[in-house]
Amino acid sequence: MYKLLIVEDDMVIARTVSHHLQSWGFEAEFVTDFQNVMTQFVSFDPQLVLLDISLPFVNGFTLCSEIRKVSKVPIIFISSASDNMNIVMAINMGGDDFIAKPFDLNVLTSKVQALLRRTYDFTGQTNLLEHKGAILNTSDGTLTFNGEKIELTKNDQKILHVLLENKGKAVSRDVLMTRLWETDSFIDDNTLTVNINRLRKKLELLGLIDYIKTKKGLGYLVD
């Protein structure tokens, strides 16, 4: 089941579109907290976004740009501001399609289905994990924080992935070593320490100070 996120401040439209898409078998969710759209985007991890231009606190163009920093998820703009300048800007900012309001729900559904087919018939789902504003994209091995993006090694990504999946809980060294090397035997214990320290330095350069904490006798955690 594809997950669709609706970013529309007219709650009548948002609910109507959500219910209609659900009737077609989609898992649809709409935003109500427009100060924290990116938090909901990462948490819900949708396969497609329906995005209005005029929104409280931040406009759709800016949101599209923020999404594009961490994800290639298809984005369809839906707006009454359908003059050529806005359409061109929407596409240039990273949008995949534009639907002018008022629109027919069946036309919207057809465009959604077509874009999902084109996107996911050939590529897999994008997986995002977020904590304290840092977003790990497990599909391309990148970490984004405050608009800056870095590429991670496979070991960096595996360590962060495990810690973010268990955020708030300490993960033992044995568990991390098993995930990194598929075994907890015949690996020098110092090798994990070297990998953790190398990752911490990368995080500090990104501005994430003390992001990974050591719990003596327990392991490592992010909280």
DSSP letter at 20? Answer: H
Classify strands 142-145 and 134-137 as parallel, antiparallel or unpaired. antiparallel
pLDDT exceeds cutoff 90 at 82: no
* Domains detected in the chain: 3-120 (3.40.50.2300), 128-221 (1.10.10.10)
- Measured between alpha carbons, how far is residue 12 from residues 34, 49, 83, 155, 175 in Å? 16, 18, 24, 46, 48
The residue behind tokens 């401040």 is 9
Span 50-79, mean pLDDT? 91
Burial (CB count within 10 angstroms: exposed 0-12, middle 13-18, buried 19+), residue 205? exposed
Question: Poorest-confidence range of 96-105, 189-198, 206-215?
Answer: 189-198
pTM above 0.75, yes or no: no
In percent, the amount of the chain with pLDDT more than 90 equals 41
